[in-house]
Amino acid sequence: MRRTREGLNRLLLAALLGVALLLPIAVRTDQYTLVLLTTILLYGVLATAWNVIGGLAGQLDLAAGAYLGLGAFTAGTLLIRLNVSPWLGMVLGGLVAVGFAVLIGYPLFRFGVKEVWYALSSAALVEVLRVTFLIWSQVGGPVERYLPYHEWSFYHLRFATYMPFYYIMLGLLALALLVNHWIRHSKLGYYLMALGENEEAAEVLGVNTQKCKLQALAIYAFLVGVTGSIYACMYGFIHPNFFSGPMSIEVAILGIVGGMGITYGPVMAAILLVSVREFLRANLGGQLEGLYLVVYATVLILIALFRPQGLGPMLRQAYDRLLSRLVKE
Amino acid sequence: MLNELLRVEQLSSGYHRVPVLNGVSFYVREGEMVAIIGPNGAGKTTLLKTISGLLQPTSGQIFFHGQEISGQPPHTISRIGIAHVPEGGRLFPNMSVMENLMMGAYGNRDVLKTGVLDELFELFPRLKERRHQLARTLSGGERQMLAIARGMASRPRLLMLDEPSLGLAPILVEAIYDRLRVLRERGLTILLVEQNIHHALSLADRGYVLENGRIVLEGACAALSQNPHIRQHYLGL
C-alpha cells in the first residue's frame, strides 16, 4: 500500500516535471504564451521564497519588490558598466539583497517590530528604495537603462526569445522548492514554525527568535534578489519601478492563498491566480479599464471566504482522496 | 540544608513604564516545590516572565545556582535549565503533539537521546495516544498536560508553572495536580504560580503570598493555610 502510494507520488512529480519541461516546445515561437508561462514561474519563485519568511516564520513581509529591485539593479548595473556576466551578477544581486535585508531586519527584530508594524515597515522599504533610485541618477534615474542587446548570448544572459528564461526560471523554482523543503524538515524550520505560531512560547523554550527570523529573511531576500537579476535580463532594462509595492503585495497574497507554510502551496496559487489574472486581463482588459482587477479581486475574496486555509490544503485533500481511491482498486 | 537553586533579590519589573513588581525577594531550594499565590493582577505572571527573561527587571537581581541571570535573553535562560510553562499553555496549535514535545527539547537536542520522550509518555499516557494529532484538537486538560510535558522535555532543573489549573474542570485540576505530585516525588524543583490556592497549598512545601507586587506573607504551606488572613481572603473560611 505504502509503496504504491509513493510510486504514484513519484509518477505525478515526474509527469509534472515532464509537462513543465515540454510546455515551451509545444508553444514554440508564441512569445506571448512564453512570457506568460515565465511570469507564472516568476511569481511561483517569489511566492515560494516568501513562504520562508511569511508562511513558516509568520512575518507578513511586504518587501519582495525591494529585494527584487536590488537584485535587478546589481546585476543590471554590473552588466551595463563593467560587462560582468549576469551569472555572476545574480549571485552578487542575491548577496546585496541579503546585506540590505540584514541591515533592515536586524534593528526591526532587535526592537521587536512585529505583525502589522513589520508589514508596514517592510512595505515602506520598497517605496523608500524606489524613490532613492529615482533620485540616484548615477545608477537609477527616471529613464530606463537598457542592457546591451544580444540575439543569443549565454555570457550576457540575453536572448531574443523568452524560451531560455522559462527554463532558467524553472530551475530557480526547483531551487526555491528544494530550499523550502529542506528548511521545512530542519531544525530552523521547526523553530520558524514555532515562533510563527507563538513567539513567546518559542522564546521560553530556548529559540533565539531574533536570529531565526533574520536567517529566514536572509534566505528569502537571496532568492528574491537572484530572481530580480534574471527579471532584469529577461525584460532587457532596469528602472526604479522594479521596486514595486503592488508586486510585493501580490507575492504575499500568493503565499497566503497558497496556504501558509505549505511547500507547494504558493506555486499552486501562482499557477492558478496568475493564469486567472492574465486570462482576465487578455479578455476583459480591452473592455473597461480595471475591470479585470475587479473580477480578480472577487476571486480572491471568494477564496478568503470559502477556503481561508488556502488552496494548498484543499488540493492536498483532493489529491489524497484520489490516491486512496486509486490504491484501493 | 539543601542548596538554593533560585534566588530573587529585591526584584522590580513591569511593562514599559508601568511598574508591577516592587522589590520582590524569595528563594527556591533544590528539590523543593514553592507556590506563589495571590489574586488577579498581583504580578504573578510578571514575576515568572521576568525570571524567564521575557521581561527585563527595572532593578534587583535573579540568581540561578549562584550565578546572576537577570538581563539574559529568554533562550539563554531556557538553555541553562529553567523551563517556563506559560499561562494557558501557549502550545503551537498547528503542530502535532510530538512536534510540540520536540520543540521543548530542541534547545538541547542531546536530551532526546536520553529517552526523555518515553518518560514523558509514561507520565502522560494520553499524549502518547494522541502524539500524531494537532495540538489544537486536544481537550483543555490534554493541552495543559502537553504544556507541562513540553516544559519537561528539556530536562530542566527548575520547572516554572503559570496557573496550570486555569480554566479546567475540577476533575482535570485533580489530574494535573496528581501529575505534579509525581514530578515532585521524583525530586524535580518546581515553582508554581496559582490562584487555585487550596490545591497549591496542599501540594507545595512553602508558599509566598504576592499582593500588589509585594510579598506580604511567606511560610510553610501548612502554616499558611492556617493563617487567618489567608483563610479569610483566599479560602473564604
Most confident of A17-21, A211-215, B91-95: A211-215
Check CB contact of A28 with chain B, cutoff 8 Å.
Answer: no
Percentage, residues of chain B above pLDDT 70 = 98
Check CB contact of A111 with chain B, cutoff 8 Å.
Answer: no
Answer whether residue A98 is part of any domain: yes
**For residue B103, which residues of chain A lie inside 8 Å, CB to CB?**
190, 194, 202, 205, 207
pLDDT, mean of each 10-residue run, chain B (237 residues): 85 89 94 92 93 93 93 91 90 91 80 85 93 92 93 93 90 92 94 90 93 92 88 77
Judgement on whether residues B5 and B75 belong to the same structural domain of the protein = yes
Asked whether the CA dihedral B233, B234, B236, B237 is positive or negative, the reply is negative
Task: Give the chain B residue whose CA is nearest to the CA of A190.
Answer: B103
- The Cα–Cα gap between B184 and A303 comes to 51
* Residue A151 or A46, more confident: A46
pLDDT of residue A28: 77
Answer whether residue A282 is part of any domain: no
Are B90 and A208 an interchain contact pair (Cβ–Cβ within 8 Å)?
Answer: no
Grid cell digits, residue A311: 488552496
Are A205 and B94 an interchain contact pair (Cβ–Cβ within 8 Å)?
Answer: no
Question: What's B23's domain CATH number?
Answer: 3.40.50.300
pLDDT of residue B1: 47
Answer whether residue A1 is part of any domain: no
Band of pLDDT at residue A2, cut at 50, 70 and 90: low
Judgement on whether residues B121 and B165 belong to the same structural domain of the protein = no
> What is the distance in angstroms between the Cα of B188 and the nearest Cα belonging to chain A?
18
> What is the distance in angstroms between the Cα of A104 and the nearest Cα belonging to chain B?
21
SS3 A143: coil
Number of domains into which chain A is organized: 1
SS3 B168: coil
Q: Does residue A271 surpass a pLDDT of 70?
A: yes
Q: Which residues of B touch A (CB under 8 A)?
A: 52-54, 73-75, 78-79, 83-84, 86, 90-95, 99, 102-104, 106-109, 150, 154
DSSP string of A262-282? Answer: -TTHHHHHIIIIIHHHHHHHH
Judgement on whether residues B5 and B69 belong to the same structural domain of the protein = yes
Please answer whether residues A242 and A232 qualify as being in contact, where contact means their C-beta atoms are separated by less than 8 angstroms: yes
Please count the residue pairs, one from chain A and one from chain B, whose beta carbons lie less than 8 angstroms apart: 67
Domain that holds residue B17: 1-81+157-237
pLDDT tens string A61-91: 999 999 999 999 999 999 999 999 999 999 9
Are B106 and A208 an interchain contact pair (Cβ–Cβ within 8 Å)?
Answer: no
Domain that holds residue A144: 30-244
Average pLDDT over residues A237-242: 96
Check CB contact of A205 with chain B, cutoff 8 Å.
Answer: yes
Judgement on whether residues B10 and B64 belong to the same structural domain of the protein = yes
SS3 A250: helix
Q: What is the pTM of this model?
A: 0.86
> What is the distance in angstroms between the Cα of A164 and the nearest Cα belonging to chain B?
40
Helices (H), A115-269: 115-135, 163-184, 187-197, 199-204, 209-235, 245-258, 265-269
Are A207 and B107 an interchain contact pair (Cβ–Cβ within 8 Å)?
Answer: yes
**Domain final position from B115, B140, B155:** B155
Average pLDDT over residues A193-213: 91
pLDDT of residue A3: 57
ipTM of the shown complex: 0.76
pLDDT tens string B133-162: 999 999 988 999 999 999 999 899 999 999
Helices (H), B28-169: 44-51, 74-79, 97-106, 116-123, 125-129, 140-152
